[in-house]
Amino acid sequence: MNGSSSNGMRRRSGKLTAETINMSHGGGGKAMRDLIEDVFLRSFDTQDFLALEDQARVDLSALTILGDRLALTTDSYVVDPIFFAGGDIGKLAVCGTVNDLAVGGAIALYLTCGFIIEEGFSVTDLRRIAISMKLAADAAGVKIITGDTKVVDRGAADKIFINTAGIGVIPQNINVGAQRAEPGDLVLINGFIGDHGAAIVGAREDLSIESDIESDCQPLNRLIESLLAVCPQVHCMRDATRGGIATVLNEFAISSRCCIKIDETAIPIRNEVRGMCEILGLDPLYLANEGKVVVILPREKASAALTAMRHDQAGVHSTIIGEVFNSPEEIVILKTAFGGERIVDMLVGDQLPRIC
């Protein structure tokens, strides 16, 4: 790009002419510079990226205004396939990291990104992923401020892997933790479960499952900010990614030494997802989500919380799915549609590898 940025910094003008990534694009020379300037600077277009320093620089005073604790998270994304209905690896990387900050009660602010790219990867696909990351970051109101690029030999990776780290600030009156569930608390979720896992299944050619299901990949920070505004007393929050809501609930039950009972008839599951699970022998309670948050909060706050959540596009189908009890400790119990009960164990193994 030619010209100057809004802060007077000269924009880089490197031009990437190759159609696929080769080893020189990770070698530290002109080819790598062209890749960074033409693909990443053009897509992310933030002041810190334009500076091309080895680190981003954040004004501490701007952080302390928002809260008294720094939240830091990191995650790596290896999803297969990298493009799927409702998203792609780039959108997934941004939303997943933003959500990991938000469920801790943090205001998400900044992201970093590291790319490990296989030699021969399509430059067109790389541009598409970078643009998708920028759009997702804009939707979440966060900035991608620094990154890294590595290129590995053909066969040493599977197309592209992305690592992201996120920085946020936790306001003083927020104290969310897996160990804070109390008897009498209610369990809420913001909508249909299993959509992401089902979308990945539908996108995998080796499974030959035709499906119109789209991933629920979305940032949850706006919804969570609305929830915390009316109910800062939220006890537990976690996004139900790998392992699904069953794993999250078990983590809460173990950390809080309590029993969590959920009602099968109250859990929102699309008929298409339920049908796919029946065909493949999967349990939707363990299917991955990328836009669902499980919330445990005081019973008296549930009505206000649901109203706030349902006003957000990501929480239109929010509902109560269960309750916290004293005993039996460290157990999750499902009340079935037939009126019986069964224990929902922690996931053993992996229903679907490389889901995120």
Please state, as a whole number, how many other Cβ atoms lie within 10 Å of the Cβ of residue 331. 18
HEC secondary structure over 228-277: HHHCCCCCEEEECCCCHHHHHHHHHHHHHCCEEEEEHHHCCCCHHHHHHH
Q: What is the distance between the alpha carbons of residues 321 and 297, in angstroms, rounded to a whole number?
A: 12
Cα separations in angstroms, 87 against 112, 160, 189, 205, 330: 19, 15, 21, 17, 35
Find tokens 């030619």 and name the residue.
2
Structural domains in the chain?
A: 23-170 (3.30.1330.10), 186-343 (3.90.650.10)
pLDDT in tens, 83-141: 999 999 999 999 999 999 999 999 999 999 999 999 999 999 999 999 999 999 999 99
Return the SS3 of 33: helix
Contacts of 355 (CB under 8 A, 6+ apart): 79, 196, 197, 200, 241, 242, 288
What would the DSSP string read from start to end of 323-344?
EEES-STTEEEEE-TTS-EEE-
Q: Quote the percentage of the chain above a pLDDT of 90.
A: 85
Return the SS3 of 297: strand
Residue 350: its pLDDT value, please? Answer: 75
Residue 7: its pLDDT value, please? Answer: 45
| Run means of pLDDT, 10 residues per run, the chain, 356 residues | 40 79 95 92 78 86 94 98 97 98 98 98 98 98 95 98 98 97 98 97 78 95 98 98 97 98 98 94 96 98 98 98 98 96 89 88
pLDDT in tens, 269-285: 999 999 999 999 999 99
Q: What token pair was written down for 66? A: 């928002």
Residue 54: its pLDDT value, please? Answer: 86
Residue 348: its pLDDT value, please? Answer: 81
Residue 298: its pLDDT value, please? Answer: 98
Residue 2: its pLDDT value, please? Answer: 31
